[in-house]
Homo-oligomer: A and B are copies of this chain.
Amino acid sequence: MVINVLELIGLYVFATSGALMAIHKDFDVVGIVVLAMLTALGGGILRDLIIGDIPPAAFTNANYLIIPLIAAVVTFFVHPVMRRLAFTVLVFDAAGLGLFCVTGTLKALDFGLGSLQAVLLGITTAVGGGVLRDITARETPALVQVDTDLYSIPAAAGATLVAGAHHTDLPMPVVATCAAVMVFLFRIVAMLRHWTAPRAWTRNGG
């Protein structure tokens, strides 16, 4: 129940980030809806196609489609306010990141995939929609660019924690909650301190 509410919030926030990108790129209303849905649902759809949950959850529960549509419509009208709320949006986005990497990992484990594979699919659930958003908007994916604040690395840490605890006696609801909170805080601190991932190693440290 709490998970469901959090998940719908995550969808809403991810969709908002897609809609804001579309407005930033001066796309029309179709572009706003497309980017909102792609950002919110893309990662989960990729995960479900790979683990074999077909049709993907996004196509079996109408809420998964309606929430991003609502986010697109709201953003269409109130986007100037959203920009002033940029940091607030990023905070919710961090919550979505934490939640989606944990639920994605758990779902992959449920479908019998190995730990390493489940970690990869947890990360995919959390960041896949953003990559599809960036590719469709013809932006270099934030995921791969240098000098963007850490995003996938907190997700990877949370997914690893969940997958690692899966073969222990630890109570999964507790582990999952801790992992999601850890990812959230890790991401927030990474943003505030502008932590970035290193570029390729060179002898001169460049």
Contacts and interface: CB of A to CB of B under 8 A. Distances in A.
Interface residues of A, number: 61
A135 B143 CA distance: 14
B199 A28 contact: yes
A145 B50 contact: no
A144 B201 contact: no
A45 B55 contact: no
Contact of A136 (B135, B137, B202): B135
Interface string A136-156: 111011011111100011000
A29 B200 contact: yes
B144 A30 contact: yes
A111 B54 CA distance: 11
Interface stretch (A31-39, A93-101, A169-177, A178-186): A31-39
A45 to B, nearest CB: 7
A199 B29 contact: yes
5 contacts: A35-B144, A49-B50, A59-B114, A66-B116, A138-B140
B145 A136 contact: no
Contacts of A22: 144, 200
